[in-house]
Amino acid sequence: MKIESGQESKKAGYKVPFGTVSVTDKARRLIDEALDTKWVTKGKYVKEFEEKFAALFGVKYGVAVSSGTDADALACAALYDFGAKRGDEVIVPALSFVATGNAVFQAGLTPVFVDVKRETLNIDPDKIEACITPRTRAIMPVHLMGKPADMEKILTIAGKHNLQVIEDAAEAHGAEYRGRKIGAIGNMACFSLYAAHIVTTIEGGMIITDCEKTAEVLRSLRNHGMTGKFTFERIGFSAKMN
């Protein structure tokens, strides 16, 4: 991964950079500032980033984490606070980057793979219902390569079976579906901020949600399951953003 400064990308007279990371002069200044304060994790800029990211999608809460995979895993693990039991099932597309399925396992749940449509390479909504069992807790569509999944059909199925919808939007920052922003449609949406993705913190991820309880659970999950000062209420991860 080649890293370029803001000055260099300006000199190159860019259109759309691909496979490069632009670190602007402003970003360098803010990183220096954060290092100088010696507050280098979960600091004020992380909070500001969460608020501004969520606002872009018109949702209330953003929870910044260490990677897109952590975003997926924490979103799945949040399901325990809504009645899921270990080993319960999450429906995912049979075609995605490996992180989607891995994250379900990392959360202690079971991915159930549903075939994709040849025309879109996204999950085939007409094949979802046949895969729903009494242990299904969520559907996790992936908006593969920036193409939105068929959210209308997915929401209808989820509503009918009382399932949560977790959008894996790791590859789809800024995509729109029928006039609505991808990420603002399901109960939670997960973004990767890895160096090869559309918006990057080099390594990082973000979960957005409109649900206050979900945001609270996600904040606890990224910090070892902590709630108050050294009170640990659930099995957590260490997935904070620096």
Catalytic residue among 143, 173, 197, 224: 197
Query: How far is residue 61's CA from residue 168's CA, in Å, rounded to a whole number?
Result: 16
Map the footprint of ligand PLP across residues 6-45, applying CB under 6 A: none
Query: How far is residue 110's CA from residue 100's CA, in Å, rounded to a whole number?
Result: 11
Query: How far is residue 60's CA from residue 37's CA, in Å, rounded to a whole number?
Result: 28
Is residue 161 part of the annotated active site? The answer reads no
Query: How far is residue 225's CA from residue 124's CA, in Å, rounded to a whole number?
Result: 35
Binding track, positions 153-192, relative to ligand PLP; x by CB under 6 A: ---------------x-xx--------------------x
Map the footprint of ligand PLP across residues 97-116, applying CB under 6 A: 97, 99-100
CB 74 within 8 A of CB 218: yes
| Residue number, 7 or 108, with CB nearest to ligand PLP | 108
**Cβ 122 to ligand PLP, closest distance in Å?**
11
Residue choice 142, 166, 182, 188 for contact with ligand PLP (CB under 6 A): 142
| Residue number with the smallest Cβ distance to ligand PLP | 68
Compute CA distances 110 → 16, 100, 214, whole Å. Answer: 38, 11, 21
CB 204 within 8 A of CB 214: no
Both tokens of 127, joined, read 């094949």
| Residues near ligand PLP (CB under 6 A) | 67-69, 72, 96-97, 99-100, 142, 168, 170-171, 192, 194, 205
Give me the active site residues, please. Answer: 197
